[in-house]
Amino acid sequence: MPTVPTAIWNDVLGHIQVNHPQLMRGWFSTLTPQHVSGGVLDILAANDAQRRYLEKHCRFALSEAAQAATDRLITAKISVRSDDDNDEGSVEAHPDPDQLAFNQDYTFEDFVTGPSNRLAHGAAVAVAGDPGRAYNPLFVHGAVGLGKTHLLQAICHEVIDKNPGTHCYYISCETFINHFMEAVESGALHEFRYRYRHVDVLVIDDIQFLAERERSQEEFFHTFNTLFQSQRQIILSADCQPSEIPSLEERLISRFNSGLVALLDRPCTETRMAIIRKKSKLRCIEAPEDVVHLIATRIDTNIRDLEGALARLDALSQATGEPISLAMAEASLGNSPGKPIKIPTILEAVASRFDVKVSDLQGKKRSKAVTYPRHVSMYLARKMTERSLEDIGGYFGGRDHTTVLHANRTISKLVDTDPTVRQLLDEITTDVKNAGY
């Protein structure tokens, strides 16, 4: 079978660089052209992650480039290098069945930024560019469906693209705990520690599940120290900030806080619209702008719910053979839960209870007679609506999201310690629900 001359292969890569620069990755130099036979160009990738990327995004471009370089009708075929041929340091030379699978769509290019996630995104990009030094550890927290997993995987993609030999170990906290328990039971702690303390980047999702696990916390503490001292990158995610993880040891809280702790909050309306546009483009769905606006204003919970609404619309469009329209979107979203509670309703209820003006709650006054009910309003808005911190702050004179966070924490502490505050909030909550919104 004819081998592929180096000059031809260089022409193939050059063609992609010129005509499809968005597809190029640093590890393309590690690809091995095997031979051309029967109009098929065999290309060997170093691991399955590379193969999946090439299959999904680059097959047409590689075929086009090969045809341009040889002036023959050629189709590209992607295979994975055998274990014997794999580079010793390849990220997936010895794949771990417990490692979480990478989603090829979870890249920085496909992540939509806005006020609710800009800090977390910027930190993730910095970490991917200089792992172990930029922000170490990086701790990302937020509710379900707001993009934590997307950011974690985007970092891994970027690091591996720049240096395919980097060992990124991406697992769930549950996997870490299970590995530790199995190692203790089988007397294999040495192997366990080698697995976790000789990686270049350790990424653990849902680290809050370390709560109530004293021995696992002890082991993770030493693993953390070993990686940190050798300037290996540590990336963690959770549904809350470190200090709010129940029964987490103070020394772990301190170490998690020693790097950068970044919040992923619910996206504002403009960001939700941008997300819908991005998801529509990725899935080749034609969604008119009025439909985009309707979905974004009707669904303000999380990104997964936005994707679900878009998927339902696409399925309905295919089933009926009609293009997506505003009427179709109204019908599709019509079965949503009842009309949501609105922040102005909360403001009216709080103002009535505390005998203050709504304009004072939204104004600049800082007297205790106004500040306390303002904090109560922010707390209830956070609890009773799905609005982002940015959106809530906008209802209170354009205040920053950190002000809303401070108010929420202040009232939360009072709720935990003062029964009269709990009773008052229950009464206001009832007033809001009975307001006929």
**Per-residue pLDDT tens over the stretch 249-264:** 999 999 999 999 999 8
At 35, the amino acid letter reads H
- Note the pLDDT of residue 84: 44
Inter-residue contact 375 to 407 (CB < 8 Å): yes
Locate 390 and state its tokens. Answer: 């940015």
Question: Over 90: is that where the pLDDT of 203 sits?
Answer: yes
pLDDT digits (tens, 9 = 90+) for 343-371: 889 999 999 999 999 888 988 888 888 99
- Note the pLDDT of residue 97: 60
pTM of the model: 0.59
The DSSP line for 54-109 is IIIIIHHHHHHHHHHHHSS--EEEEEE--TTTS-TT-TTSS--TTSPPPPTT-SST
- Note the pLDDT of residue 225: 94
Ranked by mean pLDDT, which of 35-39, 282-286, 425-429 comes out on top? 425-429
- Note the pLDDT of residue 376: 93
> Which residue is associated with the tokens 């680059």?
58
pLDDT digits (tens, 9 = 90+) for 386-415: 778 877 888 888 888 888 888 888 998 888
Q: In whole angstroms, what is the distance from residue 303 CA to residue 113 CA?
A: 12
Inter-residue contact 309 to 295 (CB < 8 Å): yes
Mean model confidence pLDDT for the chain: 85
Q: In whole angstroms, what is the distance from residue 108 CA to residue 110 CA?
A: 5
- Note the pLDDT of residue 91: 38
The DSSP line for 132-160 is TTSSSSEEEEESTTSSHHHHHHHHHHHHH
- Stretch 240-247: mean pLDDT: 86
Question: Over 60: is that where the pLDDT of 150 sits?
Answer: yes
Q: What percent of the chain has pLDDT over 70?
A: 94
Integer CA distances (angstroms), 78 to 14, 21, 95, 315, in order: 18, 20, 19, 32
- Note the pLDDT of residue 86: 43
- Note the pLDDT of residue 148: 92
- Note the pLDDT of residue 94: 39
CA 404 to chain centre: 23
- Note the pLDDT of residue 96: 60
Q: What structural domains and CATH numbers belong to the chain?
A: 6-80 (3.30.300.180), 118-264 (3.40.50.300), 269-333 (1.10.8.60), 343-433 (1.10.1750.10)
Radius of gyration, CA atoms only, the chain: 26
- Note the pLDDT of residue 218: 93
CB within 8 A of 67, min separation 6: which ones? Answer: 73, 74
pLDDT digits (tens, 9 = 90+) for 90-144: 334 334 666 777 777 788 988 888 888 899 999 999 999 999 888 999 999 988 8
Cα end-to-end distance, the chain, whole Å: 74
